[in-house]
Amino acid sequence: MARSSLKYGYYAALSLAGVDRLRRLMLAREKKIAVLNLHRVSADPSPYWPPMRPELFEELLKYLAYYFDVRSLREIGEKQGKKPIAVLSFDDGYYDFADHALPLLKRYSMPANLNVIPQCAETGRPIWNVRLYDFLAAAPNKLIDQIDLEGFDQKLASDDEASKVRFGIAVSKFLKTRPRAEREDLFRSVELMIQDHQVPGTRMLTTGELRQISADVEIGAHSYSHESMGFEPQRFFEEDLEKCCEYFRTKLEIPLDIYAFPNGSYRNEQIDHLRRKGVGKILLVGEKFAEQVSNVLTRITMYGGSPAEVRMRSVGF
């Protein structure tokens, strides 16, 4: 609790000191874009992968509405006014986007980009690391201690929220930074634990639900199966992209002109292939502001536990 209070006070002090104003001025002067990358907006807490609470998301929208020119990805090439440009970019396609984020976006008349994983929309199953987070949130600590991944020695340090967040990030990162075949082999024992305990999975948007909201948001692909493409051969990437194109063409009936690399993992030849296929906007992570002159855009990961922290993170602090 003391650590959380200290963190909240730290961001509040930065905001009061006008640090966010200086960064906004720099953004506008250098004509860069704050592409803010979000995942979940939900009132349901998850200690291992906390979503942004709806009231904090609304605080973010109020801040952006006052200080930024919030645009869709397709609008960022248009002439800039005095305000810096921001884009809201969501990944994965969770149901809580339609339940919590979209109503607030409509209330504040803000556009957004939503990058979906067709395999999840078709099967209803979230990606493996979200199934892992769901399991960790439901399992007792003694069961979590039984997780055995060769090469991963970290254990859950304590029962406090900060330790759970650190453990969830560490185990997910350990598995993300491996080729699909190696990860699946390592994760098999954990998958069996998840199945044995019948942990309910986070709800994903279905294809039908995506079709219903496609007029309200810019929908892009987050790959077909959410693999770390920097670790996969070029042929795998190209075949995965073809599945995305087919899904967008036949199921969503919209063009695929936005692609977000999963886990920020990519190689330059994959970007070149996307350009040859006519994909207009290519999204990375990078944790830095994007350049207006490029169709390859870096993004800043958004999270936070207080209005001041959300404001500061929105300006890349």
Give the count of domains, the chain: 2
Q: What is the pLDDT of residue 248?
A: 98
Q: Is the pLDDT of residue 3 over 80?
A: no
Q: What is the pLDDT of residue 1?
A: 45
Q: What is the pLDDT of residue 4?
A: 61
66-98 tens-digit pLDDT: 999 999 999 998 888 899 999 999 999 999 999
**Statement to judge: residues 68 and 108 lie in one domain:** yes
**Statement to judge: residues 227 and 152 lie in one domain:** no
**Statement to judge: residues 173 and 216 lie in one domain:** no
**Statement to judge: residues 38 and 65 lie in one domain:** yes
Q: What is the pLDDT of residue 296?
A: 96
Question: Which of 207 and 161 is assigned the larger pLDDT?
Answer: 207
The structure's pTM equals 0.93
Q: What is the pLDDT of residue 113?
A: 98
Give the integer Cα–Cα distance in Å for 161 and 150. Answer: 25
Q: What band does 37 get if pLDDT is binned at 50, 70 and 90?
A: very high
263-295 tens-digit pLDDT: 989 999 999 999 999 999 999 999 999 998 899
Question: Which of 167 and 17 is assigned the larger pLDDT?
Answer: 167
**Statement to judge: residues 97 and 225 lie in one domain:** yes
Q: By percentage, how much of the chain surpasses pLDDT 90?
A: 67
- Which residue, of 196, 215, 240, is where some domain finishes? 196
Residue 71's domain spans which residues?
Answer: 2-124+203-314
Mean pLDDT of all residues in 181-192? 90
